[in-house]
Amino acid sequence: MVTPSSPFSFLEDLANRVGSRLQPPEWAVHEIQHRAVLFLNHVLQQEPEAQQRLLRLQGRVVKFEWRFVTMQFVPTPAGLLDLAPEGAVAELTLTVTETSPFGLARAAFKGEKPAVRIEGDVQLAAEINWLVDHVRWDVEDDLARAIGDVPAHTIASGARRVVDALRQFVGQRPGKAGGSAAE
């Protein structure tokens, strides 16, 4: 019996074809990278232990790669991140091996980390792994600053229920790794 293909395979194929042909202009890539650094620093500022760990790593360059996206970060003397200068040599390269955006989304909804190929300094990789495991964005706290505690809590609770339902749905899909219809 032939197994039917996922309806998402068409979308995944389309995303791969479009993504390989359409490259954003250099100025847009630069702006997106700066916005990503600002967001990461906002999250890091909520975790003093993370900033202390980054202080010990200042000046060491970490390269992140996924498909055609490449970014190089360098910890600053303030315990935050900045984009590495042009031409900087990375001491650690982290390459996300899952090429499908849908595969990454599926893993995220299951609460899993994506598979990453690590090349370079092992100690630096261990510190980055600690950051990934322990630093979380407190969305509810940021939302509360904008709209107040009670509405923020209500929205965050609703969002958690939606994410839990999506995780349950993704985890129970037959034929997918880590989930089966019998769960």
Amino acid residing at 133: D
Weakest mean pLDDT among 27-31, 34-38, 58-62, 92-96: 27-31
115-to-12, 38, 107, 111, 178 alpha-carbon distances in Å: 18, 25, 10, 13, 14
- What is the edge-to-edge ordering of all strands in the sheet holding 92-96? 81-83, 69-75, 62-66, 92-96, 116-120
DSSP, res 78: T
Higher-pLDDT residue of 42 and 176 is 42
Average pLDDT, rounded, for the chain: 82
User: 109 and 64 in contact (C-beta within 8 Å)?
Assistant: no
Instruction: Give the pLDDT mean for 74-97.
Output: 94
On the question of pLDDT at 20 being above 80, the answer is: no
Helix, strand, coil fractions of the chain, as percent rounded to 5: 50, 15, 35
- pLDDT tens-digit profile of 23-53? 788 888 889 999 999 999 999 999 999 999 9
Weakest mean pLDDT among 91-95, 107-111, 121-125: 107-111
Q: What is the spatial distance between Cα 1 and Cα 39, in angstroms, rounded to a whole number?
A: 48
Instruction: Give me the pLDDT at residue 127, please.
Output: 92
